[in-house]
Amino acid sequence: MPTIPEYPTMTISFRFLAAGSLALAASVHASQACSGDVDGDQRINVNDLLEVIGSWGACPPPPAECPADIDGTGAVGVDDLLVVLSGWGDCPDADDAPQRIVAYYIEWGIYGRDYQPMDIPADKITHINYAFANIGTDGRIALGDPYAAIDKYYPGDSWDQPYRGTYNQINNVLRGQYPHLKTLISVGGWTWSGRFSDIALTSASRETFAESCVDFIRTYNFDGVDIDWEYPVCCGLASNTYRPEDKQNYTLLLQELRRQLDIAAAEDDRAYLLTIAAPAGYDKIANLEPDGIAEACDWINVMTYDYHGAWDMTATNHHSKLFPNPDDPGAEEVAERYNARSAIQTFMGAGVPASELVLGVPFYGRAWGGVAADNDGLFQPGSIVPPGTWDDWSSGSTGVNDWFEIETFIASGEYTRHWDEHSKVPWLYSPTRHGGHFVSYDDEESMQYKVDFARELGLGGFMFWEITADRNETLLDILQSARTP
């Protein structure tokens, strides 16, 4: 039996006796998960534990049932045992279903995409993360595109109001119509993470940045700050500054933000939020201090997408898989751990409560071109980056297709939809388009699996990138269903 890893809500000691039997001593703290309720009595207890141990090994072939196979792998093993132990106690009420639906709204969406703030389906979301603000050379938060943010005229605007633009539309007009809505300014992103290492470096630089964020959200009426540092220590743009101490300094930066936001909240008699967009690859999570981050933040948005893409032509793969596929030909650890379940387990294993983890999902796909038809294109080498939905002269071909464009691929009849039963995600393949076009994406079926996954673990909701990509709101409607017990 493999070694059982540390899990967030329990302390476990296992001893393997000479006779090969297993002696178990476990102290378990109840969590929100209830997928470990094997016998369906709305509580997870010793009966479920005995069911798992008694069913250990490969499941019998269908139509025989295998209720102890909680993770659906076809065998009862350590992972199923961990689910039971981590969820020990009474099952949560249905009202504990994920409640947050966090939408990223992109500032540049007002241009070629022509997606204006009034197009946002505010009745279907709970939070808007406005992407992005930049960091200035002075170490303070800075407007990204001043014209879009505070200058563009919308109906009803006047020349003498404090600010116009998308900030006014989202924070004052839209939120005035939908009082439940909260807005956060997201700082950084892939392009503007270059100065995070510098602002996190010293106590003085952290204080300056945090002070500027408080001034910023007060000035423009945001409800909080979302930090999107891609990434501490390594692996973002080559032009970014990196330091080994980014790991500890990120936590310190968030702690200083939390401190100053709490002071402002007391002064303003208003709650201010602090969240981050966190990486979902095990190698990048290793450069964080998840427990310290969770203590400082209201929640963590885990970006469980972009695991694979056309930057690697070695083999096509799913960019947002929920579970691993045992046939994945990639490096063993990548094949096993580049998936949403592994990312969430890693954060929980580091001490982050499930309710403070928000599952990030993509409203776009990633594609490869020049892909042979073997295995319907899955796990096959590619040779070109195909065009994406919003490519222009500066981006070149990206292979990034918004969901609403993928819907047109499906409707065209030129593509065949395939389903990965292991990873619970689909893909499209066309042998005639772009020399063999492979598209990895999420649809209604895969999104429902993610909704069920989040509900079973008691996660704190969903975040998606980004709102302009689902023009028909088909994926958003699936996430919205998670708010209905």
Residue type, 317: N
Which residues have a catalytic role annotated? 230
Q: How many CA atoms are closer than 13 Å to the CA of 77, on its beta-carbon side?
A: 12
What CA–CA distance (Å, rounded) separates 434 from 456?
40
Nearest CA among 279, 430, 324 for reference residue 368: 430
What CA–CA distance (Å, rounded) separates 271 from 275?
13
Could you tell me the two tokens for 250?
């990120």
Distances (CA, A) of 462 to 104, 270, 281, 446: 11, 24, 18, 14
Q: Assign 28 to helix, strand or coil.
A: strand
Alpha carbon dihedral 200, 206, 209, 213, in 10-degree steps, equals 110
Task: Give 284-342 as a DSSP string.
Answer: HHTTS-HHHHHHHSSEEEEE---SS-TT--S----SS-SS--TT--S-HHHHHHSSHHH
Return the bridge partners of 90, or none: 43
Return the bridge partners of 226, or none: 186, 275
What CA–CA distance (Å, rounded) separates 187 from 281?
21
What CA–CA distance (Å, rounded) separates 225 from 215?
11
Q: Assign 107 to helix, strand or coil.
A: helix
Q: Assign 17 to helix, strand or coil.
A: coil
What CA–CA distance (Å, rounded) separates 290 from 300?
9
For the purposes of burial, counting CB atoms within 10 Å of the CB of 386, is it exposed (0-12), middle (13-18) or buried (19 or more)? buried
